């Protein structure tokens, strides 16, 4: 089974690359036959990824949330699934390449560096922990999607300012829609992170005798939560709009990813569930 999971992981990486390539090609070439085909590629990729996550959970006997690379794989799935549902609901298909590249990047890290030879803490069978982790991952996936919309906004803004009406100008939604999608994604991410933090603070003290509020990952998560909370307030009051709002979203995302990598690989945290 271990070998099967490893093979599936590399197939996932290939499928994410193909899906991203198809969405990218359709964005620039605008081929009608790809409008529905690319969605099928994404569906197949997400289906295989769901099967992989279920098999990994059954084989290892716990949720695949032990290492940062297992979490990266969950992030890749969450981003892809969130975008898939967004595309079905809005039928806006021209933004997929800018969002699915994050799924490809996260799954690349997971496939290349994920480990299967470790012992996991029995706490991973705890339901509050599962809820805490799932809401946190969904929150970070929403933040990732928000940053993708911010990037699209900046690219389109640059096209308009320089009077270069390229493919980006023709294929992307207008600036107002991109800014609104960015804002909605940030709100969703903030709400989900809030739920994850509340569950964590309620459950962690009883689950971990050595629990400390000064844990690096807790501090980093609270800083990320605070950054986006401030951004929501500033945006609601119209203190930051347009290009400044998009840049704020990108900077917040970059900080959240760097903090996740830093606290998972360098600093010690009780969030490390591998024995």
For the stretch 62-113, pLDDT in tens is 777 777 788 889 989 999 988 888 788 777 788 888 899 989 999 999 999 8
Where residue 19 falls among pLDDT bands split at 50, 70, 90? Answer: very high
pTM more than 0.85: no
Q: Is 120 helix (H, G, I), strand (E, B) or coil?
A: strand
pLDDT of the residue at 12: 94
In the structure, what pLDDT confidence band is assigned to residue 218 with cuts at 50, 70 and 90?
A: confident
pLDDT at 208 over 80: no
Give the chain's length.
275
**Per-residue tokens: 26:** 């359709």
Contact 64, 134 (CB under 8 A): no
Residue 72 token pair: 């990266």
Confidence band for 56, pLDDT divided at 50, 70 and 90? confident
- pLDDT at position 270 is 47
Q: Which of 71, 69, 28, 21 is nearest to 45 (CA)?
A: 21
Whole-number pLDDT of residue 263: 67
From CA 224, how far away is CA 220, in angstroms rounded?
A: 6
What local confidence, expressed as pLDDT, does residue 264 receive?
60
In a 13 Å sphere around the CA of 154, the CA atoms on its Cβ side amount to 16
68-90 vs 2-29: helix crossing angle, rounded to 10 = 40
Looking at residue 41, its pLDDT comes to 93
Give pLDDT, residue 267: 47
CA distance 223 to 197: 12
- The candidate with the shortest Cα–Cα distance to 133, out of 44, 216, 184, 68, is 68
**pLDDT above 70 covers what percent of the chain?**
87
Token look-up 């969950």 returns: 74
**Cα angle 24, 25, 30; round to 5:** 110
Location of structure tokens 């716990």: 62
pLDDT tens readout for residues 158-194: 888 888 777 777 778 889 989 988 998 899 889 999 9
- The predicted pLDDT at position 18 comes to 95
Task: For residues 245-263, give the mean pLDDT.
Answer: 85
Q: How far apart, in whole angstroms, are the C-alpha atoms of residue 237 and residue 254? A: 24
Q: Tokens 């928000």, residue? A: 146
The pair of structure tokens assigned to 86 is: 């967004």
In this structure, are residues 130 and 83 in contact, taking their beta carbons and an 8 Å threshold?
no
């Amino acid at each position: 089974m271990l070998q099967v999971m490893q093979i599936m992981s590399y197939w996932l990486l290939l499928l994410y690359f193909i899906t991203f390539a198809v969405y990218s090609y359709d964005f620039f070439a605008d081929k009608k036959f790809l409008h529905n085909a690319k969605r099928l590629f994404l569906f197949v990729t997400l289906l295989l990824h769901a099967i992989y996550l279920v098999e990994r959970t059954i084989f290892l006997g716990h949720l695949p949330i032990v290492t940062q690379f297992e979490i990266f794989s969950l992030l890749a799935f969450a981003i892809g699934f969130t975008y898939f549902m967004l595309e079905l609901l809005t039928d806006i298909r021209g933004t997929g390449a800018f969002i699915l590249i994050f799924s490809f990047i996260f799954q690349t890290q997971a496939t290349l560096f994920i480990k299967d030879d470790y012992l996991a803490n029995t706490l991973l069978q705890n339901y509050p922990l599962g809820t805490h982790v799932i809401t946190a991952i969904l929150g970070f996936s929403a933040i990732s999607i928000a940053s993708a919309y911010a990037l699209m906004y900046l690219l389109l803004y640059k096209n308009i300012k320089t009077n270069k009406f390229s493919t980006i100008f023709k294929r992307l939604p207008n600036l107002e829609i991109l800014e609104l999608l960015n804002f909605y994604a940030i709100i969703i991410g903030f709400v989900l992170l809030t739920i994850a933090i509340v569950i964590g603070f309620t459950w962690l003290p009883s689950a971990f005798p050595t629990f400390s509020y000064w844990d690096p990952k807790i501090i980093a998560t609270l800083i990320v939560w605070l950054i986006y909370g401030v951004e929501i307030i500033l945006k609601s009051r119209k203190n930051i709009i347009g290009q400044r709002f998009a840049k704020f979203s990108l900077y917040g995302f970059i900080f959240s990813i760097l903090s996740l990598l830093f606290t998972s690989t360098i600093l010690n945290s009780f969030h490390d569930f591998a024995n």
